[in-house]
Structure 1
Amino acid sequence: MQKHKNTTGRKYISKSDTVLHRGELIPVNAKKSGCYPFMLKKSFEQFDIGLDKWNRQTFIMIELHQSEPTEDNKRMTLFRKRLTTKLTAHYGLHEMGYCWVRELEKAKAQHYHVALWFDGDLLKTSHYVCKLAKQVWEEMGGFYSKNRKSYIYVNSPETRLNALHWLSYLAKGRGKGYKSAQTKDYSTSRLKY
């Protein structure tokens, strides 16, 4: 896999520490490498659609690593489908929000940052979701990295802003673009009202 940055069709990187979202200036994690505003806006919109639907959300962040590089994101698609099947069987979930980003930095293979959000009345913590995510990814030959703090229970304006700030890390400029022209840097759920 070539380690050159593909910037075809890219939007600019903003160094601003806020982004305008739904008429509100939201603080973002734009330190050093800045953020891609189009990624921020898509992930923030999906997050807030979930919050509009469910009133409370459990927001979870995980990292997925692999030892060998791939040209595409088929493993991520398969991971998401397998995890969704297990979560639906256990919790009876009908929908979940997500955003994942593909990054390549110092390692020879890309890694993925994954944010998941769920109805906060069905799911109140991250423990079982993280356990299933680890199991699914490791069965696929990858290795799983859980953040020291893996989730935020979003039930107030303050916890929403904390979750959006954490989610904004996925849109950082660093690590993106090292891929073929047909391969995506990120994907989000398609929650609808």
Structure 2
Amino acid sequence: MIETTYLTNHLLIAMPNLDDPHFAQTVTYVCMHNDDGAMGIVINRPITGVDVGQVLEHMNIESQNPIAERWPVFDGGPVQKERGFVLHEPPEKGQWDAMLILQNNVAITTSQDILQAMAKGNGPDKVLIALGYAGWSAGQLEHEMLENTWLSIPANDNDIIFNIPIENRWQAAAAKLGIDLNLLSTQAGHS
């Protein structure tokens, strides 16, 4: 029997040879991984021309927070692209209607009340807003790991998710493993 290692609270780093347009050069935060499959949010692919202000306007939420209005909205993955997800540090007190505290001081919220709080300037300070998510069926992520599609590292801190500039997250995540992605071959080989 093969023992499965689950990758909840890990970052998946796309290998340079991954040419799937949804995942090439991405870093994905794995929110959940178990026997049934996995779910994650791509954290380094902002949607061109879309910001939080536009999302708030679309949802008829009046904003009093011009800083939050300019935050990017990310392409979280190819599944349910109309659905919004907010990765954030959990509040010290209280909770949003649909908030799930994950690990390592990261939470995910899918309810509108967090956006309303952000519009008023009362939301979390560290936040990543995404439309859609990445999903894997049972055994699919394990198979992709065996195929060397991804590198993975534990998300021991939130620096890459919330602090590293977006365009540097792919390289920065690999650097935590001591790997320079520029030096990896894009060709797969077997000996």
TM-score per shorter chain, which class? under 0.3
- Whichever structure has more helix as a proportion of its residues is 1
TM-score under structure 1 length normalisation: 0.24
- Whichever structure has more strand as a proportion of its residues is 2
Structure of higher CA gyration radius: 2
